[in-house]
Amino acid sequence: MGDSVVVLHAVLKKTQQTAQKDIDLAASRLRAWKGYVMEVQTFEDVFDALAKTPAEAANMKARADLLSLPVGRIKSWDMTQEAAATKLGITRPRLNDLLRGKLGKFSLDALVNLATAAGLVLEIRVATAA
């Protein structure tokens, strides 16, 4: 496949060590893939690859952008998660989902509300598609 990258297995690592089960799974998938011919597709970014429609990709991009801004602001507060959650008007588990970047758990509306509660001002820019 030349200069292409094939993702055989993805895992959220919490240490520098890779678990043997993850290595074994990736090796197994590589062996299965070697004999498999697949259609090569190129995408502008990961959201275009994951989404079924351009609208869904745009929504995911907007949510990803909105997710990162409140997180930086919240971390700068230097307070407990419980206090930060109270300040935002959400539960501590919900705040934990936000801080861990669990994009799928937040709608665009919810992220707008959290950004505003975090003291951020939103500006929306819309442009004609290329």
| Predicted confidence pLDDT, tens digits, the chain (130 residues) | 456 666 766 767 677 788 888 888 888 888 777 766 666 778 888 888 888 898 998 899 899 888 888 998 999 999 999 999 999 999 999 999 999 999 889 999 999 999 999 999 988 888 887 7
State the pLDDT at residue 87. Answer: 95
110-113-116 Cα angle (round to 5): 150
Dist. CA 55–CA 51, nearest whole Å = 8
Q: Does domain 52-117 have CATH number 3.40.50.12160?
A: no
User: In the chain, which residues fall in CATH 1.10.260.40?
Assistant: 52-117
pLDDT at residue 16 in the model: 77
Nearest to 118 by CA among 82, 76, 80: 76
Residues 111, 63 contacting (CB under 8 angstroms): yes
pTM of model > 0.85 = no
Query: What is the 8-class DSSP label of residue 23?
Result: H
Contacts 24+ apart (CB under 8 A), 36-44: 40/1, 40/4
Residue 1 is predicted with a pLDDT of 47
| 16 residue type, one letter | Q
Rounded-to-integer distance, Cα 61 and Cα 48, Å:
9
For the chain, the straight-line distance linking the first and the last C-alpha, in angstroms and rounded, comes to 29
